[in-house]
Amino acid sequence: MSVTISELNNNNAQSLNDVVSNQYLGTKRVLDLVVIAAVLPFVAVIMAVTAVVIKLESSGSVFFWQKRVGMNGKTFNMMKFRSMTSDSEAKGSQFAQTNDMRVTRVGKFIRKFRIDELPQLWNVVKGDMSIIGPRPEQESFVSEFNKTIPNYSMRHMVRPGITGLAQTEQGYVADADGTVTKLKYDLYYIKNLSFMTDVQITLKTIYTILTGFGAR
């Protein structure tokens, strides 16, 4: 799926107001659960192996929980495989950087191929997230961006996703300018929310996983 800059800049608050009544949202929730049930046997094996190698490499929990902001601004505990050292947030929340020294050897691999995101399937089952949607951001960053980026809160009109349009088109973001562009992708997605849009993002996500595009 390819989106032009002019299309991204054509988003506005008024055009997004009817998304809450989009009939596809109910269907999307059902599809999420069906897909998880279908892939669970395969994914469970990958997750079991990942948990073992993480534990063998370094001490600490296999999983990493972090407060994120979801639909309608509600916070939830997002679950990931731990890809950094146990004290990675000793100095508070911060964006991951290129060649970040906090990332473990196993962490580099699972981040490249997005394996660290697999535990979020549980968040999808719980209803915190969807498979596809705007990526949920940390509370501290959301608080800052709500003050500095116009319409930032509108990305919370739908459930956040494990993958999304911004992740497949833009990759990882680590600064304010990149966040503004990511927001444009998020609002474009919400404005064009449909089954075919999700199918296109799914196909692009497979490419992203196979190539490691945008990982840090």
Type of residue numbered 66: Q
Is 4 a domain residue?
A: no
Domain that holds residue 196: 23-211
pLDDT at 176: 79
Residue 49 covered by a domain = yes
- Nearest-angstrom CA–CA distance, 126 and 120: 10
* 145 in a structural domain: yes
| 82 lies in some domain | yes
Mean pLDDT of the chain: 86
Higher confidence at residue 109 or residue 176? 109
Residue 17 resides in a domain: no
Q: What is the pTM of this model?
A: 0.84
Is position 29 within any domain? Answer: yes
**Is 153 domain-assigned?**
yes
Helices marked H in the chain: 5-8, 13-16, 24-57, 105-112, 120-126, 139-148, 165-169, 176-191, 195-211
Q: What is the pLDDT of residue 121?
A: 97
pLDDT number for residue 59:
82
5-61: pLDDT as tens digits: 566 666 655 566 666 557 788 899 999 999 999 999 999 999 999 999 999 988 889
Over the stretch 130-174, which tens digit does the pLDDT of each residue have?
Answer: 999 999 999 999 999 999 998 899 999 999 999 999 989 887 777
- Indicate whether 15 belongs to any domain: no
> For 115-118, which contacts have Cβ atoms below 8 Å and span 24 or more sequence positions?
115/46, 115/50, 115/81, 116/80, 116/81, 116/82, 116/83, 117/80, 117/162, 117/163, 118/43, 118/46, 118/47, 118/50, 118/81
Structurally, how many domains does the chain consist of? 1
Token pair for 45: 């094996």
210 alpha-carbon distance from chain centroid? 17
pLDDT at 90: 46
- Note the pLDDT tens digit of each residue in 64-121: 999 999 999 999 999 999 988 765 554 555 555 555 667 888 988 998 899 999 999 9
Q: Quote the pLDDT of residue 132.
A: 97
